[in-house]
Amino acid sequence: MITVGIDVGSLSTKVVVLNQDRIMAHEVRSTGVDAKKASQEAMDTVLNKAGISFQDVESIVCTGAGKKKVPFEAQQATEVMCDARGGCHLYPKANGLIDIGGENCRAIKCDAKGNVIDFALNDKCASGTGIFLDAMAKALRVNPEEMGELSLQSTQDIEVTSMCSVFAESEVVSMIHRRTPKNDILRGIHKSIASRIYGLANRILLEGELIVLGGIAKNIGLIATLKELMASDLIVPDEPEIVGALGAALLAREREE
């Protein structure tokens, strides 16, 4: 049975085509301004990647900020359910998940069978992680992908406020003016985001084995800083971005049975 999960995030759209338990194909593209167009294009690309047509798909579940905009007929589900379903499918023993999306982050606690016990979404002050990192990359004239490694080479610890990304930005700007070394600023930025995520995870007492999802989970600097703060060990799947869409596809299959 072939099902599709599509996660229309605020910054990027992810699609996964699933055949029983095997991922046939997946696609990630930026959502841009028009979520409707982005989801249609993503669907078309993933279908011909998997070498199947739209009719072969038994059912589709869509999730994410733009789930209402999906042009084709699909059931809806919330990001929390999809993340949990996808994450626990990949690592059944995990106690919880942290999803660091472009716009906001989520902490989810699940039981042994992968059902959600508790979850917490970031409050207003902690939103905009994706935009914040991009803005910082531009301000420091650094390629966003390298921010992680550079931050690991920092020598001294500097405090960047973790209250809100706008203050963090103004502090970073003043640090740049004071010619603080770039790697140290990057480490400060990563610590600021990590402590916000740590605060979120603490709100639902997340411990034990945790999976880190979302596009920003690829940033090894952030994961290293988060590991320092959190006692639990963190697993980053190789394609952390598409786990939500995978969960949606799994839900599509369940709802079909």
Residues 80/63, Cβ–Cβ less than 8 Å: no
Dist. CA 178–CA 185, nearest whole Å: 11
The residue to which tokens 């596809």 are assigned: 249
Dist. CA 154–CA 148, nearest whole Å: 11
- Using the minimum distance from each CB to other proteins, give the nearer residue, 33 or 55: 33
- Using the minimum distance from each CB to other proteins, give the nearer residue, 50 or 252: 252
Binding to other proteins, residues 207-226 (CB under 8 A): none
- 36 is an interface residue for other proteins by CB under 8 A: yes
Binding other proteins (rule: CB under 8 A), the pick from 33, 73, 155, 157 is: 33
1 to 20: interface string for other proteins, x by CB under 8 A: -------x-xx---------
Q: Is 145 left (phi over 0), alpha (psi -120 to 50) or beta?
A: alpha
Of the listed pieces 18-26, 195-203, 218-226, 231-239, which binds other proteins according to CB under 8 A?
195-203
- 119 is an interface residue for other proteins by CB under 8 A: yes
Both ends of the chain: CA-CA distance in Å? 10
Residues 87/93, Cβ–Cβ less than 8 Å: no
- 189 is an interface residue for other proteins by CB under 8 A: no
Binding other proteins (rule: CB under 8 A), the pick from 17, 42, 57, 120 is: 120
- 135 is an interface residue for other proteins by CB under 8 A: yes
- Using the minimum distance from each CB to other proteins, give the nearer residue, 25 or 211: 211
- Using the minimum distance from each CB to other proteins, give the nearer residue, 1 or 125: 125
Residue of 27, 34, 3, 7 whose CA lies nearest to 17: 3
DSSP string, 34-93: -HHHHHHHHHHHHHHHHT--GGG--EEEEESTTGGG-SS--EE--HHHHHHHHHHHH-TT
State the nearest-atom distance from the C-beta of 165 to other proteins, in Å. Answer: 5
Angle at 13 between CA 200 and CA 148, to 5 degrees: 55
- Using the minimum distance from each CB to other proteins, give the nearer residue, 48 or 76: 76
Binding other proteins (rule: CB under 8 A), the pick from 40, 103, 152, 232 is: 103
Binding other proteins (rule: CB under 8 A), the pick from 95, 151, 154, 162 is: 162
121 by DSSP, 3-state: which? strand
Residue of 170, 231, 212, 222 whose CA lies nearest to 192: 222
- 183 is an interface residue for other proteins by CB under 8 A: no
Dist. CA 76–CA 70, nearest whole Å: 10
Of the listed pieces 45-53, 149-157, 158-166, 208-216, which binds other proteins according to CB under 8 A?
158-166
Residues that bind other proteins (CB under 8 A): 8, 10-11, 31, 33-36, 65-66, 69, 77-81, 103-104, 115-121, 123-125, 127-128, 131-132, 135, 139-141, 159, 161-167, 169-171, 173-174, 176-179, 195, 198-199, 202-203, 205
